[in-house]
Amino acid sequence: MFPDFQDKLISGYFELSGDDMNYRFAFSILLFSMATSVAAQSGLCPDYLNHDMKKLHSEQGLNICKAYGGKPLLIVNTASHCGYTPQFSGLEKLHKQYKDKGLVVLGFSSNDFDQEAKTDKEIANVCFINYGVTFDMFATGHVSGASANPLFKELATQTTEPAWNFNKYLVDTEGKVVKYFDSSVTPDSDAMKQAIEQLLSH
């Protein structure tokens, strides 16, 4: 559609005169440019990130492509009653340290390993009050097996699915997982910081 439209514009398809022609021609060029720009931007964000997902303890949803398309991501599956739950503190520090450099930290609550609180309110208290989390957290959902959400299915295809809570996936601007860290690797580890800084330097 757009190439044909562009050809018609170039070949003088609008056989009008005076100001009327100028306004319509300029408006058509503007529409074409906007459509092309939107198409180009949407192509930067992979389909598996292009979903509306409910935020934790909120009626609001968030589409990662719309909110953070073209930015590197650190994606983590979380639980509030796990031995690794204190990693929230380290993740928040990473968020504060690297957010101005473009890194987006995203937490996905899950009870796949029977370690999550029963209500959104309790989960939110652990995340937002106990650990002072300010990065985006998503409502409880599945991150492993056949019921995993599309995002975690793709992460599993590229690397491995979570075997426990607090698996960490470092994703580049094109949606490719460049580094996977299991639960035992803490957010403040040298390995994680080096991987983040290497990704941000590209």
- The answer to whether residues 36 and 134 belong to one domain is no
Q: Please, what are the averages of pLDDT over each run of 10 residues along the chain (202 residues)?
A: 44 48 51 41 80 96 96 98 98 98 98 97 98 98 98 98 98 97 98 98 90
What pLDDT score does 73 carry? Answer: 98
- The answer to whether residues 65 and 38 belong to one domain is no
Contact 116, 123 (CB under 8 A): yes
- The answer to whether residues 140 and 156 belong to one domain is yes
What pLDDT score does 44 carry? Answer: 79
- The answer to whether residues 144 and 104 belong to one domain is yes
- The answer to whether residues 30 and 71 belong to one domain is no
What pLDDT score does 40 carry? Answer: 36
* Residue 82 is a catalytic residue: yes
- The answer to whether residues 62 and 112 belong to one domain is yes
Tell me the three-class secondary structure of 103-149, residue by residue.
CEEEEEECCCCCCCCCCHHHHHHHHHHHCCCCCEEECCCCCCCCCCC
- The answer to whether residues 185 and 159 belong to one domain is yes
Range of the domain at 169: 47-200
Helix axes 2-10, 18-42, angle to 10 degrees: 150
Q: Is the dihedral of CA 87, 106, 159, 163 positive or negative?
A: positive
- The answer to whether residues 71 and 26 belong to one domain is no
Q: Which residue in 45, 65, 82, 127 is the catalytic one? A: 82
CA-CA distance, 133 to 130, in Å (whole number)?
8
- Between CA 116 and CA 178, with CA 96 as vertex, the angle to 5 degrees is 75
- The count of domains in the chain is 2
